[in-house]
A and B are shown apart, each in its own frame.
Chain A
C-alpha cells in the first residue's frame, strides 16, 4: 500500500528562512516518493500552521506527516497532538530538524538549502515505515513527597495540601524554616522575615494533609512516575514528639551550653535545644555529640524535669517507607565558605564576618539582641560590605549568586539604621533586577552609603600609616577612579555566594536526576519547564536549581505544586510508547542489557532464561537496543527498518526528483 505523505516546511520566522530557501525546499519535497503535498509556512507551530496540517489530513486523506522545523524537544508533542486531533495516529508523524541541525549552523544559503533537502528526504523516507503506537495510561498515586522545609518546600506543601492531596514534607534539620528563619529583614520591602514566615510554618504543622518529618532524610527513592516508594530515615530526637508540649523546661535546666549552629556559633544553645524559639515542630532535640548523658553517662537532668515524660534516651533511628506519585526537591543551597579566599582573612581576622553572621547579629532575637557590634562588644565606626565573595570568580564559582547585591544593600541599610557607622559597599556590578529592587538601591544610595566599584583584592591588618593602625584595611581597585584604594574600617561583611548543597550529588543519584555544570539540579528546560526534570514525576524548586531570592523561591514552590497537581488530580498519567521490546525468541539470556539499563527497567527471568523489560520504567534511551548482541531488542518508533531507511536516505540523493 502506498502512503500519502504531507510535508510541511517551517520558516520559524527568519530562524530557518534566512539561510534555507523554504520555497525551493517545499518544491523539492513535493517530488519525493509518496509525497502528496508539500507546503511551507511562516510558523508551523502556530494555530493556523497546525490547521493547515489538519485540513490536509481531513481533505486529502494523508496517512503520514513530516514537519521540518526545530528540534523535537519543544514541538514534537505539539505536532503529535495536532495530527492526533485530525484523526491520525500521532506516531505516524515525523519531525525533521532543519533549525539547530541546519539553518543555525551556517550562513551559506546554498549549502543550507542542500542540507535541509537531505534532512527532509531522510524524514520522508523513514515516515513510510512509522507504525501506529498506543499511549499507555497508568494510575497515579496522589501523595507527594517534598524534600526540604525552607520557604520553597513550605509553599509547595501548603499549595498541594490545600488542594486535598497528602504531602510528606521531609526536613533534615530539627525545624522547618530554612535560611529564611535566620534572616531579620527581607529586601526590598524590609518586612520582618519571621512575621511572614512563621505563620506559614505553623500552618504546615497544623495542616491535616501534611505529614511533617523533621530531623529526617530520604535514603532511597524507587519506582516510577505515579508509583514511587520513598525510604525515609528518621533520626532520633531522644524526645517523644507526641508527649512533648514544648514547655522549654528541659532547655532551661540543661547544664551544658554549646555554640549554636543556628546563630553561626555567635551565640549559645543547650545540649537539648530548639534551634530558635519559634521552631516547628516546637519539640527540642538532644545533641548526642555534646549531651553529658551520651558522652559521660551522667546528668539526665532534662528527664527529671520533664513533666510529660517525653525524654527518651532509648530512641533509635527509624526507617519508614511511604508511597508517593511524585516528588519535589526543594533542598536549597549552601553558603560559600569564605575561609577559602585566604586573602580576605575570614577566620584569621576577627572582625571579618560573613553575611549570614551579620544577619544573626542584626536579628532581634539573635545573640546580640539585634546590636551590630565588633568582637570586643563595641559598635563599629565603619563597615565595609564586600560583594561577590565566591561568586563571579573563576577560582570558585563562575555563576552570579543573584541575591547578594540586594542583601548587601539591605545590610548597608541596617548598619545605617542601627549605628552611626560609615558604610562602604565594594561591588563589581550592581544587580537590582526585581520588582522594587532598583528603587531600594536608590534609597540606600541616599542613606549616605559610599559605593566603590571594584572587586576587593585583599583585606589586611597590616597598616601602612598611623590612620590604618588597628583597622582592617580593604584594598580594591576603584575602577571608576582608576586608582587603588585602601579603606580602613572596623568591620568587614563578606557577602558570600550561594552554592549547591554538599550532598546535591548524592541526592541527584537517589532521585535519578541530573545536575548542571555549576552543580545545581538541572531543570528540563531553562525557560519553559523550569521546575520539571528529565525524570518524569520529579520536580525541583527554589535555590537547589539555581540561586534565588525569596519571591522567586515562593513562585517556584507554587509552580512545582501546580505541576504536580496537574497529573495527581487526573489520577492517571500517559506514558510514551517509544519503549524497548524484547523478542523472546531471539534473546540468548546473556544479561548484557540488564546491567546497562540506567533506569533499572530490565530484569532477568531465571525460569525461562530471558531478559524482560518493565515498560513503565523504560525511558526509551536505546542503550539496550544497541548493546544486544543477538539483535533481540527493538525500540518502538526507532526500529532497525526505520533507522536504516533514514540513514540510507540521508546518504543518497537518488530519490525522486
Chain B
C-alpha cells in the first residue's frame, strides 16, 4: 500500500521534471513513538537528516506529513531555541557533524502546487478525470502546528491541485481532523470512532473516494473500514487513493505504474464508472 505511494510519487515527479534524489544514508525522522518517549533524541534523528541534506546542498522534500512536522519542528527549534541548539550541536559534534541551518523542509504537495504550478500540471494532463467526486483529506500534520503551507484548520491547497487535474473535491469539513494515528494500536475503539466520523462525513458530502497525502492516514482509513463497520453497524466501502495516484492517472500512467489495484478496497469499479483506465 505504501509502495503505491512510492511508485506513484516517482512517476509523477518524473513527469513533472522534478528531480528527486534519495538522501544518502538517511535515517528515521524520529516521529512515530520516539517523539513521545524521548523528544530530544527524536529531534536529534531529524537533525542528522538535515545535516545530510545540507552537505548535499539540497532542500528536503517529503511525502509524509509526520516527517514534515518533525523535521520542520527540529529546524524551527534549532533556529529559535538556544539551549535546544546547544544540546543538538553537542550530540552532532560527537559524530563530527555540524548543521548551519540552511535546509528547508517541504511536502511534495506544496512543491507541486507552488513550484510547478497550475500551468505545468495542466499541460501534462492526458486523461480526463471529470465527474469523480473526492474528499480531500489533509490529516492533522500537514498544516499544523506552524501553518506555513496553508490555513491550519481549513487548508485548500489539495483542493486546488485536485481541481487542476479535473476531479471535484467535495466540501469536507473534517479535512484536518485526526485519523487516530497510532491510537489504532493502543486505543482502537477511540481510533475507530474517529475514522467513522471521517468516513461518514465524506459519504454525507457525496464523496466517492478519499484522497490522502499521508501514509498513516491512508492505512487507518482504508484498512480499518471493516472494523469500523463491525463496531458501528455501518457499511462503508470507500476507496482511498493517494493524491499522487490520481495525478498519475490524469497524466496517463497505467494502473500498474501507480500501484492502483494493490489497495484493499478496490477503486476499480469507481474509476471504470467515470473513465476508461487502460492497463
Contacting residues, chain B, for A89 (C-beta < 8 A): none
User: Of B152, B154, B201, which is within 8 A of A462 by CB?
Assistant: B201
Q: Is the CB of A343 within 8 A of B174?
A: no
Give the contacting residue for B174; candidates A341, A342, A462; CB below 8 A.
A462
Interface residues of B in 126-173 (CB under 8 A from A): 151-154, 173
Chain A residue numbers with a CB within 8 Å of B151 are 342
A462 adjacent to B153 (CB under 8 Å): no
Q: In this assembly, does A517 line the interface, its C-beta being within 8 Å of a C-beta of chain B?
A: no
Docked Cα-Cα span, A342 to B150, in Å, equals: 12
Task: List, in ascending order, chain A residues with CB within 8 A of B201's CB.
Answer: 462
Residues on A with C-beta less than 8 A from B174 are 462
Indicate the member of A348, A460, A461, A462 with the most B CB atoms within 10 Å.
Answer: A462
Q: Please tell me if A502 contacts chain B, counting CB pairs below 8 Å.
A: no
Q: Complex: how many Å from CA A502 to CA B78?
A: 34
The answer to the question of A464 belonging to the interface, with a C-beta cut-off of 8 Å to chain B, is: yes
Q: In the complex, A348→B197 CA distance in Å?
A: 20
Q: Which residue of A lies closest to B193 (CB)?
A: A464
When distances are taken between beta carbons in the complex, the residues of chain B under 8 Å from A458 are 153
Q: How many A-B residue pairs have CB under 8 A?
A: 17
Contacts of B154 in A (CB 8 A): 342-343, 348
Which of the four size classes fits the interface of chain A? under 10
Query: Which residues of A (440-475) have their CB < 8 Å from a CB of B?
Result: 458, 460-462, 464
Q: Cβ of A342: which chain B residues have Cβ within 8 Å of it?
A: 151-154
For the side of the interface on B, what is the size category?
A: under 10
Cβ contact of B173, chosen from A341, A462, A464, cutoff 8 A: A462
Q: From residue B240, how far is it (CB to closest CB) to chain A in Å?
A: 19
Most buried by A among B173, B174, B197, B201: B173
CB–CB A343/B197 < 8 A? no
A348 to B152, CA, bound (A): 16
Do A461 and B153 have beta carbons less than 8 Å apart?
no
Q: B197: which of A341, A461, A462 is its contact (CB, 8 Å)?
A: A462
CA distance A289 to B153 in the complex (A): 35
Flag if B197 contacts A464 (CB, 8 Å): yes
Tell me, rounded to whole Å, the shortest Cβ–Cβ distance linking A484 to chain B: 13
Separation in Å of the A635 CB from the closest CB of chain B?
39
Distance in angstroms from A350 CB to nearest chain B CB is: 13
Interface residues of B in 157-214 (CB under 8 A from A): 173-174, 197, 201, 204
Nearest-CB residue, chain A, relative to B172: A462
- Nearest Cβ in chain A — how far from B190, in angstroms? 13
The distance in angstroms between the C-alpha atoms of A343 and B173, with both chains bound, is 9
Docked pose: A343 CA to B201 CA in angstroms:
16
Q: Which of A328-348 contact B (CB under 8 A)?
A: 341-343, 348
Contact of A460 among B152, B173, B204 (CB under 8 A): B173
Q: Which residue of B lies closest to A349 (CB)?
A: B173
**Closest CB-CB distance, A322 to chain B, in whole Å?**
46
Residues of chain B within 8 A (CB-CB) of A343 are 153-154
- Residues of B near A341 (CB, < 8 A) are 153
Interface 1/0 per residue, A283-301 and B, CB below 8 Å: 0000000000000000000
- Which positions 453-508 of chain A face chain B at CB distance < 8 Å? 458, 460-462, 464
Contact with B along A346-357 (1 / 0, CB 8 A): 001000000000
- CA–CA, A654 and B185, complex, Å: 76
With both beta carbons as reference points, the residue of chain A lying nearest to B147 in the complex is identified as: A395
Task: Produce 1/0 per residue, A134-151, CB < 8 A to B.
Answer: 000000000000000000
A460 to B204, CA, bound (A): 14
Q: How far is it, in angstroms, between the C-alpha of A464 and the C-alpha of B232 when the chains are bound? A: 12
On chain A, the residues within 8 Å of B153 by CB distance are: 341-343, 458
Bound-complex Cα distance A460 to B171 (A) = 12
Cβ distance B205 to chain A, nearest Cβ, rounded Å: 9
Residue among B197, B201, B204 facing the most chain A CB atoms (10 A cut-off): B201
Once bound together, how far apart are the Cα atoms of A296 and B49, in whole Å?
62
Q: How far, in whole Å, are A462 and B152 apart by their CA atoms in the complex? A: 19
Residues of A within 8 A of B152 (CB): 342
State A67–B62 Cα separation when bound (angstroms): 66
Q: In the complex, which residues of chain B have a beta carbon less than 8 angstroms from the beta carbon of A462?
A: 173-174, 197, 201, 204
A341 to chain B, nearest CB (A): 8
Q: Smallest CB-CB separation from B152: which chain A residue?
A: A342
Nearest-CB distance from B157 to chain A (Å)? Answer: 14
**Alpha-carbon distance A343/B174, docked complex (angstroms):** 10
- Cα–Cα distance between A464 and B173 once the two chains are bound (Å): 13
User: How far, in whole Å, are A2 and B233 apart by their CA atoms in the complex?
Assistant: 101
In the assembled complex, how far is the CB of residue B149 from the closest CB belonging to chain A, in whole angstroms?
14
Tell me, rounded to whole Å, the shortest Cβ–Cβ distance linking A463 to chain B. 8
Complexed CA–CA distance, A458 and B152 (Å): 13
Contacts of B173 on A, CB cut-off 8 Å? Answer: 460-462
Q: A464 to B197, alpha carbons, bound, how many Å?
A: 7
Contacts of B204 in A (CB 8 A): 462
CA distance A364 to B13 in the complex (A): 61
Distance in angstroms from B165 CB to nearest chain A CB is 25
Alpha-carbon distance between A461 and B152 when the two chains are bound, in angstroms: 19
- Provide the bound-state CA to CA distance between A460 and B152, in Å: 16
Complex-state Cα separation, A343 to B177, whole angstroms = 11
Contacts of A348 in B (CB 8 A): 154
Q: How far is the CA of A35 from the CA of B154 in the complex (A)?
A: 72
CA distance A348 to B175 in the complex (A): 15
Q: C-beta contact mask, A413-445 vs B, less than 8 Å → 1, else 0?
A: 000000000000000000000000000000000
A44-64 interface with B by 8 A CB criterion: none
Within the complex, what minimum Cβ distance (angstroms) separates B160 from chain A?
Answer: 16
Which residue on chain B has the smallest CB distance to residue A460? B173
B248 nearest CB across to chain A (Å): 31
Bound complex: CA A458 to CA B154 (Å): 12
How far does the Cβ of B228 sit from chain A's closest Cβ, in whole Å?
Answer: 14
State A460–B172 Cα separation when bound (angstroms).
Answer: 11
**CA A460 – CA B151 in complex, angstroms?**
17
Question: How far, in Å, is A483 (CB) from chain B's closest CB?
Answer: 15
A348 to B201 CA separation, bound complex (whole angstroms): 16
**In whole angstroms, how far apart are the Cα atoms of A461 and B173 in the complex?**
8
Determine the residue in chain A with the shortest Cβ distance to B173. Answer: A462
CA distance A29 to B154 in the complex (A): 68
- Closest-CB distance, A371 to chain B (whole angstroms): 30
Interface residues in A353-385 by Cβ distance below 8 A to B read: none
Q: How far is the CB of A466 from chain B (nearest CB, A)?
A: 12
Q: Which residue of A lies closest to B171 (CB)?
A: A348
- Complex Cα distance, B153 from A246, in Å, reads 49
* Minimum CB–CB distance for A543 against chain B, Å: 29
Contacts of A464 in B (CB 8 A): 197
Minimum Cβ distance to chain A for residue B137 (Å): 14
Smallest CB-CB separation from A463: which chain B residue?
Answer: B204
The distance in angstroms between the C-alpha atoms of A647 and B151, with both chains bound, is: 54
Could you list some 12 contacts between A and B, CB below 8 A?
A: A341-B153, A342-B153, A342-B154, A343-B153, A460-B173, A461-B173, A462-B173, A462-B174, A462-B197, A462-B201, A462-B204, A464-B197
Could you list 13 further interchain pairs (A-B, Cβ under 8 angstroms) beyond the known A342-B153, A462-B173, A464-B197?
Answer: A341-B153, A342-B151, A342-B152, A342-B154, A343-B153, A343-B154, A458-B153, A460-B173, A461-B173, A462-B174, A462-B197, A462-B201, A462-B204
Ordered nearest first, which 6 A-B pairs have the shortest CB separation? A342-B154, A343-B153, A342-B153, A462-B173, A462-B201, A342-B151
Question: Interface residues, chain B, CB within 8 Å of chain A?
Answer: 151-154, 173-174, 197, 201, 204
